[in-house]
Amino acid sequence: MEFGIKICGVWLGIFARMMMPFLRKSYKGKPAKFNLKYLRITFTSLILSTIFTILIFPKLEISPDEILNLESGFKLFSLAFGFGFGFNSLIIEFSQWFKKNELQKTQASK
């Protein structure tokens, strides 16, 4: 059950971060079109964060003498949600940074 809470938290965090640009554009009234780069970044983030979750989160378990109740489950879910949201944000920022460096290199070579 703990593993399911961790994975759901991470995946929902990634999905929430993926939806932020769309919701921001919708709120401002701009027409939002589907961009394939969001899907690529989300898929990459989903795979990498799932791997890191499996590697890191086994260390973050509820103590064996404590029964999984609503409070401890919510804490675990919130931590996993934040991990997924943050990991997706890091991947988006790295992709933007490398894209800018590639543009500068191509402009400098011309």
What is the per-residue pLDDT for 4? 81
Residues in the chain where the model's pLDDT stays below 50: none
- Give residue 42's domain range: 2-109
**Cα distance between residue 66 and residue 90, in whole Å:** 34
- Return the structure tokens found at 1: 């059950």
Total domains present in the chain: 1
What is the per-residue pLDDT for 109? 61
Q: Kindly provide the residue ranges of all beta strands, DSSP E only, lying in the chain, ordered along the sequence.
A: none
What is the per-residue pLDDT for 14? 82
pLDDT tens-digit readout, 28-55: 888 767 677 777 877 887 888 778 777 7
C-alpha distance from residue 105 to each of 58, 65, 89, 98, 101 (Å):
42, 57, 24, 10, 6
